[in-house]
Amino acid sequence: MAGVVATAEQSRRSVVSLYLLMGLLLLIVTLGGLLLGAVSVTLADVWHMLGVKTGLSDRAENLTDSVLWAIRLPRVLAGALVGAGLGVAGVGLQGTFRNPLADPHLVGIAPAAGLGAIAGIAVTPAGGGSLLLMLGAVVGAVMVGLLMRRLAANTLDSGQLILIGLALGLALLALLGAVVLAWDSPRVPTFNFWIFGGLSGTTWGRLGAAVPFVVVGSGAVLWLGRSLDVLALGERDASHLGVDVGALTTFSLVAAGSAIGGAVGLAGVIGFVGLVVPLVLRRVVGPGHRHLAGVSALGGAIALVVLDTAARTLAAPIEIPVGLLTAICGAPVLVWVMLRRTP
């Protein structure tokens, strides 16, 4: 028995160490994202900007401060927020559908969020903020999430669910493309933004509108982690352990939909983050949803900050759509993980 307690303690310590390590890594890549770019910036510049903006420094604001504050900092923070939201939402969907391949993109939820965002833009008055855009994205994501749950109840296996999700997602993307092309308004981001995603032009206002949806949605997925663990035993066993499976899956899809809606409203449809990050980290922390969601938030944030920094610096002054990089990096990792999966 002492051995069991020691093992549990070791396990707890290693998870805490992982959180600390990933937190440190996120800090480093965030700083890297602030330093790298067309305008040369040093750590001292970052420090100066923070001092000026927080009122701790009485020195005058300079051009570098403006670049950092208005462009780079919101963009890097948006990358972290979107990556974290997609990582956690991926864990939530995988737990809800009891399918390790469930992903915001593959089950059609992210494209639905894109379509919902455009509907939100349509009803936003000229000069209005981004709140209706975000709300539209969340509503679109939640509606398709709940539709997929209904379909999942009638499908025979996990492969069918993914195929149905892919078909639905492609149809929604086609519809989204038709709407964007037909509308042709400067208020609507280009089709490229919706299919490949992008963080250029992130403003504090749009970031601020996305934060509540991503944070609350992600927090709810974390809170539901224990019940999602029990759901992994199967719906009947979970029900015998007191879990209201219908309520749990609805709440979980609303939570994941909120995080996905906020992420898509801010950065368009970015694939692979919600799939690959949890798949890789599941091998490190195991299948427990609470820790998996926690480390996937950090892992998703790190991945997207790094890839977005690469997207705007690798071929500067041309910017590579970040969704291209997540696909290029994510696809081989996905194949590797799937080939190494325990039968």
List contacts with other proteins (CB under 8 A).
1, 4-5, 7-8, 226-227, 229-230, 232-234, 236-237, 239-244, 286-288, 342
Distances from the Cα of 208 to the Cαs of 13, 31, 89, 175, 247, in angstroms? 35, 20, 19, 28, 30
CA angle 310/259/156 to nearest 5° reads 105
Q: How far apart are the first and last CA of the chain?
A: 31
Q: How far is the CB of 291 from other proteins (least distance, A)?
A: 12
Residue indicated by tokens 């949605």: 217
192 vs 250 by CB, closer to other proteins? 250
Q: How far is the CB of 240 from other proteins (least distance, A)?
A: 4
DSSP state of 72: I
DSSP state of 69: I
Label residue 63 exposed, middle or buried (CB < 10 Å: 0-12, 13-18, 19+): exposed
250 vs 313 by CB, closer to other proteins? 250
**Residue 4 phi, psi (nearest 5):** -65, -45
Distances from the Cα of 327 to the Cαs of 195, 198, 274, in angstroms? 11, 13, 12
Provide the 3-class DSSP secondary structure of residue 203: coil
Label residue 90 exposed, middle or buried (CB < 10 Å: 0-12, 13-18, 19+): buried
Could you tell me which of 271, 290, 177, 168 has the C-alpha nearest to residue 229?
290
**Distance (Å, rounded) from C-alpha 110 to C-alpha 114?**
6
Amino acid symbol at 113: A
61 vs 237 by CB, closer to other proteins? 237
Q: How far is the CB of 162 from other proteins (least distance, A)?
A: 17
Q: How far is the CB of 9 from other proteins (least distance, A)?
A: 12
Q: How far is the CB of 156 from other proteins (least distance, A)?
A: 15
Q: How far is the CB of 292 from other proteins (least distance, A)?
A: 11
154 vs 342 by CB, closer to other proteins? 342
58 vs 157 by CB, closer to other proteins? 157
Q: How far is the CB of 337 from other proteins (least distance, A)?
A: 14
Q: How far is the CB of 230 from other proteins (least distance, A)?
A: 5
Handedness of CA 128, 129, 130, 131 (dihedral sign): negative
Please check whether residue 83 is in contact with residue 304, taking contact to mean a CB–CB distance below 8 angstroms: yes
Q: How far is the CB of 263 from other proteins (least distance, A)?
A: 27
141 vs 238 by CB, closer to other proteins? 238
208 vs 288 by CB, closer to other proteins? 288
71 vs 233 by CB, closer to other proteins? 233
39: Cβ contacts below 8 Å, ≥ 6 apart: 64, 67
40 vs 342 by CB, closer to other proteins? 342
Structure token digits, residue 268: 């368009």
